[in-house]
A = this chain, B = another copy of it.
Amino acid sequence: MPKSNILTTGQEDAFEKACRDAGLRLTHQRLEIYRQLATSTDHPSAETLHQRLRRDNPTLSLDTVYRTLAVFAHHGIINKVETVESQSRFEAKRMRHHHLICSRCKEIIDFQWHHIDEAPLPEETRTWGRIDNKNVVIYGVCNKCLEAKKAS
């Protein structure tokens, strides 16, 4: 888990290109928000993101975070994550992956499952329409929370 929110030059260039292609102005706020999200592994909510960003960008407002995330998601630069909770959670686009979600602490972590990525979809889904993406969501309780529960 990287502590610093520093992107490689390649990632940064790719982001700038994505903005240009989408006709988005490259503002300081957008870059910071993207950086923070791209270096977060925990799929933060808008509010969490805002709190983290505030440390270095004290004037950044929460609604800019919301607006920016909506714009990024609309242009496919980031993803909103499927969840059962009321707060939306976000992630920067990255390698194909799936999610493990802890019902207790709400932590979301990624995992790979190539077997599923390559498995042919069942017939009934293929006649349904256009498929954009396919994700496995696993709910459960993580080890940390199982321990915590045992203790209490």
Q: Hey, which bits of chain A sit against chain B, CB under 8 A? A: 80-84, 86, 88, 100, 102-103, 109, 111-113, 115-116, 119, 121-122, 124-125, 127-146
Residue in B116, B129, B137 whose beta carbon sits within 8 Å of that of A146 in the complex: B129
B84 touches A82 (CB 8 A): yes
Q: Please determine whether A125 and B111 come into contact, CB atoms closer than 8 angstroms.
A: yes
For A142, the closest partner residue in chain B by CB is B129
> B138 touching A134 by the CB < 8 A rule?
yes
Can you spell out 12 A-B residue pairs with CB atoms less than 8 angstroms apart? A83-B83, A100-B125, A111-B122, A112-B122, A127-B143, A129-B141, A129-B146, A130-B140, A132-B139, A134-B136, A135-B139, A136-B136
Report the minimal beta-carbon distance from A92 to chain B, rounded to whole angstroms.
16
Seed contacts A121-B138, A127-B143, A133-B139; 11 additional CB < 8 Å A-B pairs? A82-B84, A84-B88, A102-B129, A116-B116, A116-B136, A130-B140, A131-B138, A132-B140, A133-B140, A134-B136, A135-B139
In the complex, what residues of B have CB within 8 A of residue A129's CB? 102, 140-146
Would you call A135 and B132 a contact (CB within 8 A)?
A: no
Specify which chain B residues have a CB less than 8 angstroms from the CB of A125 in the assembled complex: 100, 111, 138
Asked if residues A128 and B116 are in contact (CB atoms below 8 Å), the reply is no
User: Which B residues are CB-close (under 8 A) to A81?
Assistant: 84
B-chain residues with CB within 8 Å of residue A143 when the two chains form the complex? 127-129
Q: Which of chain B's residues have a CB closer than 8 A to the CB of A112?
A: 122, 124
